[in-house]
Amino acid sequence: MDGETGDQVSDQTINMAAKQQLLVVGNGMVGHHFVEQLVAAGGLARFEVTVLGAEPDPAYDRVHLSEVFGGKAPQALRLADPAWYEEQGMTLRLGAEVEAIDRESRTLTLASGERLGYDRLVLATGSVPFVPPIPGNERAGCYVYRTLGDLDAIRDACAQARSGVVIGGGLLGLEAANALRLLGLETRVVEFAPRLMPVQLDESGGALLREKIGALGVEALVEKATECIEDGEQARHRLCFKDGSHLETDVILFSAGIRPADALARQSGLAVGERGGICIDDGCHSSDPAILAIGECALWQGRIFGLVAPGYQMARAAVATLCGGETRFAGADMSTKLKLMGVDVGAIGDGHGSTEGAQELLLLDRVNGIYKKLVTDGEGKRLLGAILVGDGTDYDRLLQYYQNALPLPEPALSLLVAEGAQSAAPMALPDSALICSCHNVSKGAVVAAVRAGNQDVAAIKSCTKAGTGCGGCGNLLKQVVDQALAEMGVEADHSLCEHFAYNRQQLYHLARVEEIRTFDELRDRHGQGLGCDICKPTVASILASLWNEHVLEKPHRALQDTNDAFLANLQKDGTYSVVPRIPGGEITPDGLITIGEVARKYGLYTKITGGQRIDLFGARVDQLPDIWGELIAAGFETGQAYGKSVRTVKSCVGSTWCRYGVQDSMALTQTLEHRYKGLRAPHKLKFAVSGCTRECAEAQSKDIGVIATERGWNLYVCGNGGMRPRHADLFASDLDEATLIRYIDRLLMFYVRTGDRLQRTSVWMENMEGGLDYLKAVIIEDSLGLGAELEARMAAIVGTWQCEWKSTLADPDKVALFKAFLDEEPATTPPRREERGQWVPAMAPREEAPVPFTPEIAIKELI
């Protein structure tokens, strides 16, 4: 191809007074980015633009497609509403499939038979899923995973299925597996290669990833070649493998890679690669200078780029070609960072070490499930590639070392440990360092935007678009903004959101000092606008921590998130859970019978939890008041499992029954749970009390942990489980009960006052200057003179506690909030099926259990 020919056409375009007809075929992520860049470059003064999308939906974010199965609305994935195109003066036609290109007459023919003329044509047709030529691949119940339409078909199929298999263990295949998992199917992945994600990961990384997703319930079968698909005996399909084994399943998803969607190019005689793809030059011209191609349909120097960031770079180059700019496509870095089923995975450059003379540095931490590999040049001075599994915190920094050929520290292995990973500041990067590859935003552009007056991340995103693509550069972007502000002598903006120029701690103090009791009053005095889903729940929590008013009082109702709004936890099928408080797991036989009877009456699933409570699942919103009415009549109260508050105090039986117990852990557990129940905090809080050092209650993994000694109680603080487990720290030893409670009072109220939004106690202490020693000085030594005030504040909270469900049932206005419909027609229960003697959502995975435990059995055993 001759790039000069394309430039001549571009020059003619610029010089012509009349607008030319520009057709864009494809309204995916890359096609939409192209028209955005065209608008920004003033291209609408040159072109009359029509965008043709084959799908019925406008451009949406395919990268996060599986989140729809996790509850995200499809509309939330939209990149722009159709109205945006109209406002810009462009025509968007959806469901408009192009069947043919006539290059001689410069016309397109749609599936409807309509013909459209063009002066310039941009093909952004993307790719199509590759379905391996396996006999039986066309069977009903076999799907590809690519579009919103595919998701609808998959969801319908899974509603009646027990199991699903994804053929293909690459990046897209694991995303598809996560989709099946979110739909509740027993999920397996079949991969031909000897490891998962064979392009990005090496043997060790693939093996660890396989272990980690296996722990999440997704089994991966590697080195499996599927010979055919036929009827199954126990399920709909049987996959027969070359090694003689087989696997049965109800649903099959093909995700074995992509192929460029180049059918129009082939039909019209454009040059295509031997293995597909529309051949383009650096300006994205095809072999016809009037036609450009961008994204996954385009082949540049023999390469197809299957990530969104290179497609965006092509889109910018195409706009420059059409509007006289200088940007050209020069290839793209295929490094990627993603989270698969909650597992961090990162791949940078030559992670396989195929470069001549390359050296490898490895870190394998099987205890914590972390694998890190650096590939350097022979002298260990330049990073050539990296692989990260289980911990992606180093990715942004390593990517900058790779992209900018920065000299590595000595020893380079220090980059794999925490101290080394934090040693180099982002501002040491050159201005040319690429911060956001999706939108081609350099560090210099971010710094320039900060110096131009955009002094928070939201403003930087708005003016540069950095961080608005895949979102992977978010942490690095924040660091660069903060350091740019520091260089200017400006304190970094830690605003809660655009409506409040304060963080949570500051808002707490403002509300306390000024005795502000409503969101509207706080906003009118210290904020602006109407509020959002960040500041409203945060302020709701602050007000509850301060004044302990019922969260469903009229001034507070609109502030609550879904769980607090209905005083119950929303579940995957749209129903809610009911969790009565069972302090320390201690419950009478009559109490057990009541819970069993309630569960049987309302058809609820019962589960004894790790927090020593009994959860009841599957209640409709309209059933919640009736269920709680029966529980409260039997003496139960809300367990507040729905709130960012004290959840449970776990306990062993202590000296009451155990021959090893040295203190009465059950009595202390009852005291602590009844004292702190209802306390709202920045995040949920969990306690435990063990009656001896054998630690049966697992107190050292809790926010507040208490362990009995011969002389009293040892207090442990700021531990937690979850995604970042942290062992609690010993705070004080051999305490009497009064001193123990005094220290817990002070520590909890100090946390409530100073913690950030959604910050666990572990992170709160880690981020505190001085850490544990500072916390001991404040709480034990009363170094700030706050001890008496913190104790008084806790006493006020304890003294004003109310069972939120009992108060709700006493107020007809609050009860009315739980009515499902305005008319009197009863609500319907979502589809269920029976599992192990109980009713579960129809999309939940099936498992076999030899002895089911049901509410009926519980009642019979106790009577």
pLDDT digits (tens, 9 = 90+) for 280-305: 999 999 999 999 999 999 999 999 99
> What's phi and psi for 791, nearest 5 deg?
-65, -40
What value, to the nearest 5°, has the Cα angle with vertex 128 and ends 122 and 133?
145
Res. 190: pLDDT tops 90:
yes
pLDDT of residue 425: 44
Confidence of residue 723 (pLDDT cuts 50, 70, 90): low
What SS3 class is residue 480?
Answer: helix
* Inter-residue contact 423 to 398 (CB < 8 Å): no
Report how far residue 615's alpha carbon sits from residue 339's, in angstroms, rounded to the nearest whole number: 30
Residues constituting the chain: 863
pLDDT score at 171? 83
Chain segment 56-81, per-residue pLDDT in tens: 999 998 877 877 776 667 887 888 88
Which pLDDT band holds residue 469 (cuts at 50, 70, 90)? low
* Half-sphere CA count of 437, side-chain side, radius 13 A: 18
> What is the maximum alpha-carbon separation in the chain?
95
Q: How confident is the model at residue 852 (pLDDT cuts 50, 70, 90)?
A: very low
pLDDT the model gives residue 127: 94
Position 474 confidence tier, pLDDT thresholds 50, 70, 90: low
Residue 501 carries which DSSP code?
Answer: S
Task: For residues 687-693, give the mean pLDDT.
Answer: 94
pLDDT one-digit tens code per residue, 523-545: 999 998 888 878 898 999 999 99
Q: What is the mean pLDDT of residues 45-54?
A: 96
Lowest mean pLDDT among 161-175, 352-366, 566-580, 831-845: 831-845
Please state, in angstroms and rounded to a whole number, the distance separating the CA atoms of residues 351 and 363.
14
Q: Kindly state the DSSP code that residue 655 receives in the 8-state scheme.
A: G
Strand order across the 569-570 sheet: 569-570, 576-578, 614-619, 605-608
Question: Residue 284 and residue 194: Cα distance in Å, rounded?
Answer: 37
CA nearest neighbour of 436 among 423, 425, 449, 420? 449
Instruction: Name the average pLDDT for the chain.
Output: 87
Report the alpha-carbon distance of residue 479 to residue 151 in Å, rounded: 37
Confidence of residue 824 (pLDDT cuts 50, 70, 90): very low
In the chain, % of residues over pLDDT 90:
57
Ramachandran class of 353: left when φ > 0, alpha when ψ lies in -120 to 50, beta otherwise: left
pLDDT at 267 over 90: yes
Do residues 734 and 709 make contact, with C-beta atoms less than 8 angstroms apart? yes
Residue reference for tokens 């991969």: 191
Cα R_g (the chain), whole angstroms: 30
What pLDDT does residue 831 have? 79
Instruction: Report which listed range, 3-12, 334-343, 819-828, 845-854, is most confident.
Output: 334-343
Q: What is the mean pLDDT of residues 689-693?
A: 93
CA dist 690 and 704 (Å) reads 12
| DSSP letter (8 states) at residue 580 | B
d(Cα 501, Cα 321) in Å, to the nearest integer? 43
Residue among 60, 205, 180, 55 nearest 128 (CA): 55
Share of the chain above pLDDT 70, in %: 91
- Single-letter amino acid code for the residue at 45: A
Q: Does pLDDT of 440 surpass 70?
A: yes
* pLDDT of 14 over the 70 cut: no
**Encoding tokens for residue 585?**
């797991």
What secondary structure letter does DSSP report for 408?
A: P
The residue type at 260 = P
Q: Is the peptide bond before 411 cis (omega within 30 degrees of 0)?
A: yes
pTM of the predicted model as reported, rounded to 2 decimal places: 0.56
pLDDT > 60? residue 862: no
Q: Which amino acid is at 592?
A: L
For 8-54, strand residue ranges (E) read 20-25, 47-53
Nearest to 138 by CA among 225, 230, 224, 55: 230
C-alpha 357/C-alpha 382 separation (Å) is 12
587 closest CA partner among 657, 636, 625: 636
Residue 813's φ and ψ, nearest 5 degrees, are -65, -40
pLDDT band for 718, please (50, 70, 90 cuts): very high
CA quadruple 59, 64, 70, 71: dihedral, nearest 10: -30
**What gap in Å lies between CA 475 and CA 75, rounded to an integer?**
26
Instruction: List domains and CATH numbers for the chain.
Output: 3-127+260-323 (3.50.50.60), 142-256 (3.50.50.60), 333-424 (3.30.390.30), 430-493 (1.10.10.1100), 504-560 (no CATH), 575-638+803-863 (3.90.480)
**pLDDT computed for residue 713 by the predictor:** 96
- pLDDT score of 846 more than 50: no
Helices and strands of the chain, counted as H and E runs: 28, 38
Pairwise CA distance, residues 526 & 320, whole Å: 46
Smallest CA-to-CA distance from 127 within 103, 149, 151, 145 is with 145
DSSP state, residue 706: E
Highest mean pLDDT among 132-141, 210-219, 433-442, 448-457: 132-141
Mean predicted confidence (pLDDT) in 339-352: 85
Residue 67, C-beta contacts closer than 8 angstroms, at least 6 positions apart: 77
> For the purposes of burial, counting CB atoms within 10 Å of the CB of 822, is it exposed (0-12), middle (13-18) or buried (19 or more)?
exposed
The angle formed by the CA atoms of residues 178, 183 and 187, to the nearest 5 degrees, is 55
Looking at per-residue pLDDT, the higher value among 377 and 828 belongs to 377
Would you place residue 490 in the very low, low, confident or very high pLDDT band (cuts 50, 70, 90)?
confident
Distance, in Å, from the CA atom of 651 to the CA atom of 637, rounded to the nearest integer, reads 19
- Cα–Cα distance measured from residue 500 to residue 497, given in angstroms and rounded to the nearest whole number: 6
Tokens for 434, please give them.
């690429």
Coil vs helix vs strand at 281: coil
Sequence letter at residue 10: S
Looking at per-residue pLDDT, the higher value among 817 and 121 belongs to 121
Res. 8: pLDDT tops 50: no
504 or 848, higher pLDDT: 504
Q: What does the angle CA 544 – CA 569 – CA 579 come to, to the nearest 5 degrees? A: 90
Give the helix ranges, DSSP H, for 696-830: 737-754, 761-767, 771-779, 787-799, 804-809, 812-815
- The secondary structure of residue 59, as a DSSP letter, is P
Q: What is the pLDDT of residue 257?
A: 86
The two structure tokens encoding residue 811: 């107020």
Q: Give the HSE-up count for residue 105: Cα atoms under 13 Å, Cβ half-sphere.
A: 9
Say whether 233 sits in a helix, a strand or coil.
coil
Distance linking the first and last C-alpha atoms of the chain: 87
3-class secondary structure, 92: strand
In one-letter notation, the amino acid at residue 441 is V
Q: How far apart are CA 310 and CA 634, in angstroms?
A: 63
Triad 446, 451, 456: Cα angle to 5°: 65
Q: What average pLDDT does range 771-792 have in this prediction?
A: 94
What is the predicted pLDDT for the residue at 225?
94
Considering only residues 65 and 735, tell me which one the structure prediction assigns the higher pLDDT: 735
Which tops the pLDDT comparison, 490 or 352?
352
